[in-house]
Structure 1
Amino acid sequence: MQPLSEDLAQNRPGDAVRRKIRELQPNPVLRLVDWYRPRSEIFHWASGLRGEQITAKRLKRLRGHGWLTLHAVQWVTGTDIDHLAIGPAGVFSINSKRHPGKTVWYGDRAVTVNRAPTRHIAASQSEARRVARVLTTHCGFAVSVRPVISVVHAAKLTVKSADPPVLVVEVNHLDRVLSGLSPVLSTDQVSHIYEVARDARTWSG
């Protein structure tokens, strides 16, 4: 699948979701109808799009503090990384998960939504490992990537693990949590990783 842009810095938050929605319903009138029809597939994707937009808006607060972000970083398979945040505290692959009005619970190894199990943790860890391999290969030095889940519009988020392998954060606290972590990258390293990550060719293998 062709990338949304050769320079991924041009991508808007949720661009990959927008393309998916257009593929599902090419007719703009019918697409608009389905956008507001709760049982439609497009309604589900539109909810996810809103979550990505809200997370991206929060990440913008990190600008000016040594952080750089990318959105809708697309793999050749067509799947995408919702957000990449690169800053003094490291590199973070961020998944937006919008669960309006629901109760989200995170134990040592799993996230449940209204007590129903999800694959959020396993998927986030797998994505972070994949991103780390790609960036390490193209940057020429080891790049660690920490997975993050940005929880949007949940009624309640409970995190029980004291040292979670995946950061699960309510979106309104996302910028504060990331900026509060200890620095591990220099300014030059942040810039280099960002330049590599913004090139669509990095993710085409």
Structure 2
Amino acid sequence: MTGLRVTPVRTYGRSRLYVSLPGGRCVAWYDRDANRVSLALAELREEALAALAPYLTGEVSVGPPPVPTADDLARLSLHPDEDLAPNRPGEALRHALDRSGRRRDPRRAELAAHELLGTELERLEDAGWRVLHAVPLPGEARIDHLLVGPAGVLALRTLAARGRRLRITGESAAVGRDRPVPELRLARRGAERASFALATAVRPVLAVVGAARLVAEPAPPDVRILAEGDVAGLARLGGVLKPSDIESLYGRARNRRTWLRA
């Protein structure tokens, strides 16, 4: 059979090649990470393998799709309105700015910081991390970014320094000559609420974006201070969660209902 199409797709942090008929029906897919070809239409096995041949490497297992796990079934049954995975960085702030219509709104610099940090965090997916943005908590609170990966679960609070000096003293952080804000306490509180909702340990992180200089006196023992340029270093950390644990926690975290009790 001719006319089979091979399309690369990246979904849930995994790289796959999908083989489909001209009408769009899926014939098979190749999971690069697992080095496995799953056949949706077994009668087109040879044709699908021929279409995928230029992309296959090493010993490839071939067979029907694997039996879905409980986490897979929960994810597949999740209503789109309850799924937080599509949230963009600074989602709530973005909506507020759209409603205001003000071009010179100072909150636009905050949104830019959320977006820049979100881009850096999403690059960690190749290292086995999962990321959610703008996780809503009861009331009007948010967890700016939630990371689930080999080194555990991190709740990140974003601080836009806008090219100015940032001084962290005790619980507070002051950008330039601005009034100090208890950023560390707020970061810690977000992590505590995430830990309660997910029933697992969550470490607080204060993510600083755009600081000309960062001074922490003394360095906080329980809140990690992370500049946007240091995000890539998280890819080297591990030893806490297995891949199956990561997927299970991520599946729970992306469900909006999980956070109703946070």
Alignment TM-score, normalising by the size of structure 1: 0.81
Structure 1 unaligned blocks of 5 or more: 26-30, 37-42, 137-142
1:126-205 equivalence runs, <5 A: 126-136=189-199, 143-161=200-218, 164-176=221-233, 178-205=234-261
- Name 1:117's counterpart in structure 2: 180
The answer to whether the 8 A contact 2:171-2:182 is kept is no
Q: State the number of aligned residues.
A: 181
Distance in 2 (alpha carbons) for counterparts of 1:62 and 1:86: 10
Of 97, 103, 110, the match for 1:35: 103
Of 48, 55, 58, the match for 2:117: 55
CA offsets, 1:162-202, max 9 Å, x none?
A: 563111111111221x2343421111111110000000111
Considering fraction of residues, name the structure with more helix: 1
Alignment TM-score, normalising by the size of structure 2: 0.64
Distance in 1 (alpha carbons) for counterparts of 2:222 and 2:82: 32
Q: State yes or no: 1:12 paired with 2:68.
A: no
Q: Are the structure 2 counterparts of residues 169 and 144 from structure 1 closer, same or farther at C-alpha, using a change threshold of 3 Å?
A: same
Say which one has the larger Rg.
2
- Divergent runs of 4+, >6 A: none
Considering fraction of residues, name the structure with more strand: 2
Give the superposition deviation at 1:76: 3.3
Q: Are the structure 2 counterparts of residues 108 and 182 from structure 1 closer, same or farther at C-alpha, using a change threshold of 3 Å?
A: farther
- Secondary structure (helix, strand or coil) at the match of 2:106 reads helix
Structure 2 unaligned blocks of 5 or more: 1-79
The answer to whether the 8 A contact 2:171-2:183 is kept is no
Distance in 2 (alpha carbons) for counterparts of 1:72 and 1:15: 6
